[in-house]
Amino acid sequence: MLLESYKKEIFRPECNPSFQSLHCIAHLAQDITDALPYLNATLGGFEYFKEPPAVTFRIHGKIITVHPREIAVNALKDEEEADKILQWLQREINEAWERRGEIKPKYEGLPKPKLLEILKLLPKTNCLECGQPTCMVFAALAAQGVKDEEDCPALNEEKKGLLKTYLSRFEFDV
């Protein structure tokens, strides 16, 4: 077993202690650097960083970042949820490491939509109907998977279909 144990730390975001959601950091007892590309390959990391090494997952509205000696999870409901996620990740890390002979390591994240490709399909009138100050802001949100073709009321059917097709090529969440 590569990752044998960790020490969990739970806290509220310092920027706004009144936030209801919790953050969690797990301090890992073992260094899992070498397992990161295998974990990325098996779980489909959203982003992969080579230096320093880290892999990020976006799962059900949470961002989980796995570093060599630390796992960070945000937007947690409670401590029980933190425990479930950390136990699941420990299993996944150890399984990926055990099976490393069969897994092709992956050193990249998922492909991302291009902001300008999205912008090209929008009316570019900055009409505010979507609640965003400009089409550029809308495009940036769509590139992150927060908005989609249904959120721009000014799109005609043809452009709506094209934007839907373009965005469907990318995975935003698991």
Choose, by CB under 6 A, the member of 9, 123, 161, 173 that binds ligand SF4.
Answer: 123
Q: How far is CA 165 from CA 14, 100, 142, in A?
A: 40, 35, 13
Q: Total binding residues for ligand SF4 by CB under 6 A?
A: 14
Sole window of 5-13, 69-77, 102-110, 120-128 interacting with ligand SF4 (rule: CB under 6 A): 120-128
**85 within 8 A of 113, measured Cβ to Cβ:** no
Sole window of 22-30, 37-45, 104-112, 125-133 interacting with ligand SF4 (rule: CB under 6 A): 125-133
Choose, by CB under 6 A, the member of 76, 130, 143, 163 that binds ligand SF4.
Answer: 130
User: Which residues, including other chains, have CB under 8 Å from residue 144's CB and lie 6 or more apart?
Assistant: 172
Asked whether position 76 contacts ligand SF4 by CB under 6 A, the answer is no
Closest distance of CB 35 from ligand SF4, Å? 42
Asked whether position 152 contacts ligand SF4 by CB under 6 A, the answer is yes
Asked whether position 125 contacts ligand SF4 by CB under 6 A, the answer is yes
Give the C-alpha separation, 131 to 116, whole Å.
Answer: 20
Sole window of 30-38, 67-75, 95-103, 149-157 interacting with ligand SF4 (rule: CB under 6 A): 149-157
Rg (CA), the chain: 19
Q: How far is CA 17 from CA 8, 14, 22, 23, 26, in A?
A: 19, 6, 10, 11, 20
Closest distance of CB 124 from ligand SF4, Å? 7
Rounded to the nearest angstrom, the gap between the alpha carbon of residue 137 and the centroid of all alpha carbons in its chain is 20
DSSP 150: G
What is the contact surface with ligand SF4 in residues (CB under 6 A)?
A: 122-123, 125-130, 132, 135, 138, 152-154
